[in-house]
Amino acid sequence: PWTDDEGHIRTNRGWRVQFNSAIGPYKGGIRFHPSVNQSILKFLGFEQTFKNSLTGLPMGGGKGGTNFNPKGKSDLEVMRFCQSFMTELQRHIGEDTDVPAGDIGVGAREIGYMFGQYKRINNKFVGVLTGKGLEFGGSKMRTEATGYGAVFFANNMLQHVKDSLEGKTVLISGSGNVATHAAEKILSLGGKPITLSDSGGFIHCEQGFSQEQIDWIKELKDVKRGRISEAAIEFQNVSFTENAKPWRVSANIAIPSATQNEISGSDANTMIKNGINLVAEAANMPCDQEAVDSFVEAGVKFGPAKAVNAGGVGVSGLEMSQNSARIAWDSDHLANLLETMMKDIHNSCVEFGESEGGINYLQGANIAGFVKVADAMLAYGHV
């Protein structure tokens, strides 16, 4: 329960799914979105278990969330909701038990309110959440990690077949944390991010978004909490298409970065016809099963979410290490660790995914992630 600005008491449901702790404390994000239910959090917790295993760090899998809709809420309403949510959640989590982080609708602001409430109640300053502000135990590079990591992974896939990002056009969906940082890294590695979106529609810039435009969009989303359509009013070379996804635009690469099931089988067939030959899932399971099957059958290089977006939780793991040791590493060091981690994950996918038609990244990521968790569970015996 939380109190809105008119003084009315409102109620939302919240959950935490603690899926598997065989190789470390439960670890995974918290999502604030009206579509959240227990079923969605269970699939996310399941996937998180194997993703976290792929990072090579000691983290189990979990996921949490609520059907609270942060859109249109004031700062104080969000604060009161976060405090109420943490008042319940705090008894279930801990730096060695379960360490939540951000996800859709949960960024630095929400983590700050939740960490503050945990600290207030427990009188302990510990790394119980990741994605914290840099002033109070957050790690450099965590904000950028998921989007940057996804692009490093896509780049590794290209380099494996002696190709590169240079000059490639890239469709990106979403315009939040993951999407904007993916766009930024694509640009810095010589590619052209040409679309971004939100739940209202998508924007398209034929020559590719500039860093200045990406910065403007970050500010629009993070600070002004505006809509992506506003970018088409601000910039002459940007167009907006209402109530549509970017998948009909011709390009070389797609990096879906908004939400689950955002690419259907028929979207996939359109994308294949229009020349997409690499898909890297930066969101969690953005391609539905038919879409995955279509891409794999058509020989499109397909990077699955649990490998592609593991850089986010990977740097969360590094935030936990820094918190435990009470130290703070610099950006260059963390950027190197992230890049190396993504390379190692790519190598694991290659090792377990080798097949006649090239690398099957789906198989590679599933097997590589599973083996360690299964071995640990067997080693523990049973009671």
- By annotation, the residues acting in catalysis are 63
Q: Which does 28 bind (CB under 5 to 8 A by kind): ligand 2IT, ligand NDP, none?
A: ligand 2IT
Contacts of 59 by beta carbon, 8 Å cutoff, 6+ apart: 23, 24, 25, 27, 52, 99, 313, 316, 317, 320
Q: Which does 259 bind (CB under 5 to 8 A by kind): ligand NDP, ligand 2IT, none?
A: ligand NDP
Judged by CB under 6 A, does residue 281 bind ligand NDP? Answer: no
Please report, as residue ranges, which positions from 68 to 107 form the binding site for ligand NDP (by CB under 6 A): 102-105
Judged by CB under 6 A, does residue 254 bind ligand NDP? Answer: no
Contact call for residues 194 and 209 (beta carbons, < 8 A): yes
Stretch (H or E) spanning 334: helix 331-353
Contacts of 158 by beta carbon, 8 Å cutoff, 6+ apart: 164, 165, 278
One-letter amino acid at 88 equals E
Contact string 18-47 vs ligand 2IT (x = CB under 6 A): ---------xxx------------------
CB 261 to ligand NDP: min, Å: 9
- Alpha helices in 3-107, H assignment, sequence order: 38-54, 75-89
Please report, as residue ranges, which positions from 216 to 235 form the binding site for ligand NDP (by CB under 6 A): none
CB 300 to ligand 2IT: min, Å: 23
Distance set, CA 81 to CA 5, 23, 100 (Å): 12, 32, 16
Longest pairwise C-alpha distance within the chain: 66
Looking at 217-225, 268-276, 312-320, 350-358, which segment touches ligand 2IT (CB under 6 A)? 312-320
Looking at 72-80, 156-164, 212-220, 307-315, which segment touches ligand 2IT (CB under 6 A)? 307-315
The residue within the footprint of ligand 2IT, chosen from 66, 130, 195, 360 (CB under 6 A), is: 130
Q: Is 10 exposed, middle or buried (0-12, 13-18, 19+ CB in 10 A)?
A: middle
Contact call for residues 12 and 78 (beta carbons, < 8 A): no
The footprint of ligand 2IT (CB under 6 A) covers: 27-29, 48, 51, 101, 103, 130, 284, 309, 312-313, 316
